[in-house]
Structure 1
Amino acid sequence: MSDPFKQLRDALDQFATERDWDQFHSPKNLAMALTVEAAELQECFQWLTEAQSRELDEQQLAAVRDEIADVQLYLIRLAGKLDVDIEAACRAKMEKNVEKYPADQVKGSAKKYTHYQD
């Protein structure tokens, strides 16, 4: 695990311990909280056009930053509970995606990988 992820994980552990919240932070509960935060991130873009979603004003961008942080912090907390190295998991998933989505077959297409399998 890279140092920034470890530092954040340790800070989150301390934050929860100081508040006696560890009792509530089961993997199930953290996964559920993560989906709530992801929905709050999605809400920042609700009703915006594609163009508007690319041209956020400072207030909108601040809200998006906060929600991205909430999502990431819950991911780090969940990963810590399950002893998952986020950086290693992401690299492994990227390798899987290279295999699932061969550039010569999927370039410029939004189709799911299952549409490219023989």
Structure 2
Amino acid sequence: MAGAGVTLEELKKRLAEFAKERDWDQFHSPRNLLLAMVGEVGELSEIFQWKGEVPRGLPNWKDEEKEHLGEELSDVLLYLVRLSDICGVDLGKAAMRKLEINAIKYPIKPCKGSSEKKHTQINADSHNDASGDDVAGSIYSDNSTSNSGV
């Protein structure tokens, strides 16, 4: 499973198996998973807290620091995948839909190379509604492993 090419679906299945084998489903409510993920985001933040701006690729980081970063990033990802599964959201579809919405909110020409304006300012002249309502496809998975009462 380790390495390139792992899908969100594979992670979702492995996490569901992992939790089931340990009888952890009873603890995996959306609230509990979210709070655990927020804790992991805090641990991830601590890695960067006193480093200032860090160049891409982390060229000056030790191997141990990069390994620790990978572990914390993985913790956040695993909780996010598990939370989306428990909530019945197809995370891959939701992410692709969000990219489409963002493409509407942030058209290339007025946005390229700029972080000055908010999307509402960029779209004021060209779009009355940048809500993404015209983006097709449901993000809700058909076969969530969650219980309907969760």
TM-score norm. by structure 2 comes to: 0.70
Return the offset for 1:59. Answer: 1.2
Q: Do structure 1's residue 12 and structure 2's residue 11 form an aligned pair?
A: no
Could you tell me how far apart the structure 1 residues matched to 2:72 and 2:36 are? 12
Return the offset for 1:97. Answer: 0.6
Equivalent of residue 29 in structure 1, options 28, 32, 49: 32
Q: Given residue 117 of structure 1, which amino acid in structure 2 is its aligned partner?
A: N
Q: Given residue 119 of structure 2, which amino acid in structure 1 is its aligned partner?
A: Y
Could you tell me how far apart the structure 1 residues matched to 2:121 and 2:62 are? 38
Return the offset for 1:82. Answer: 1.4
Could you tell me how far apart the structure 2 residues matched to 1:79 and 1:101 are? 26
The C-alpha deviation readout for 1:46-103, integer Å capped at 9, x for no partner, is 1102146733221111111001111110111011111211111111000001011111
The C-alpha deviation readout for 1:8-37, integer Å capped at 9, x for no partner, is 111111111122211111011111111111
TM-score norm. by structure 1 comes to: 0.87
Equivalent of residue 72 in structure 2, options 54, 67, 77: 67
Aligned residues: percent identity?
41
Q: State which drifts further: 80-89 or 93-102.
A: 80-89
Return the offset for 1:115. Answer: 3.5
Unaligned stretches of 5+ residues in structure 1? none
Root-mean-square deviation (Å) = 1.8
Equivalent of residue 103 in structure 1, options 108, 111, 130: 108
Question: More helix by proportion, 1 or 2?
Answer: 1
Q: Which residue of 2 is the match for residue 117 of structure 1? A: 123
Equivalent of residue 89 in structure 1, options 87, 91, 94: 94
Could you tell me how far apart the structure 2 residues matched to 1:109 and 1:4 are? 33
Alpha carbons of structure 1 residues 114 and 40: separation in structure 2 relative to 1, 3 Å: farther
Q: Do structure 1's residue 77 and structure 2's residue 51 form an aligned pair?
A: no
Q: Which runs of 4+ in 1 moved over 3 A?
A: 51-54
